[in-house]
Structure 1
């Protein structure tokens, strides 16, 4: 179980990368913007990829009635998510240490992974809801009012994952370094479970 415990600790600690690197990235490219505009979603707020990106995105969005990009204090998520990650890191390290010492079953490694997966799904659901509101809750007095062929107002929700065409913009939404570190860390906790299970079954024979 010692090897499994070490892997569990390493996997949990990789989540700390979210405090340095962005979790997600959204890029907007168009012919009139040789250098695409972008925003990085961090645990504690949204930042532009380049210095004036958020300002430029807000300027464009103003014409079609979209809200300005929220500041950290405008969304409760940016206050809660860092605490959740710290809590999961501490819990994972504790489970790993106890597993290393033989005081805890390898099944707790899987329990941590399931809990983190549930929290991740809830986080993505909340993020998607924000994107939906951001792209569809438009100012009725906007300068430009565009409509779909069926006469319904056009919405501008960025994709949760992947690429989408919005007017003349190509919008791409993908995980950033922090998101990949989280995925690797969670995968390692599954490896820890598998290694711990293998050792446990071998010992039981």
Structure 2
């Protein structure tokens, strides 16, 4: 009999190796990465500065795939990681350090799942709430409870919340969110990634 054990893995991005350009880029130097955990490796950069190791302090430099594993092993030691792995996508090799592995049904994982949404498209991520009218087909404006950006830290009682321009008009007419304005909005649950896809589509098209 075969058993399938579902696990969840915590990882920290180390950096990327470009097969086309043959260059290495540290995750902390990569502005395109929104992973806040990448800054954990600034301690490696500081070590490189103190000990004059150029590859540990320069954000990007000419390299090869062997550097990727060597630099990842250095980071593995600094974080006391439990392993490392590489993922290839579009001529880029992504190097990661594993810091923890949890069984899917463990207490910590269950607590994590209670605070997240299991999206069919994006997997587990934080929840967001949007009105029924928002989609990525028709531009309807994007009003928010407060300014947001992807990956931002939220206060314990805060959520990503947004609604379209028509919902904003109804809300203003009633002076607040009440039974009538909420009935018009018909707020629905989405994941954080879906939320910011909706935001990007509606905001860019409004400019």
TM over 0.5: no
TM-score between the two structures when normalised by the length of structure 2: 0.25
By relative contact order (CA 8 Å, sep 6+), the higher-ranking structure is: 1
Higher helix share: 1
TM-score between the two structures when normalised by the length of structure 1: 0.25
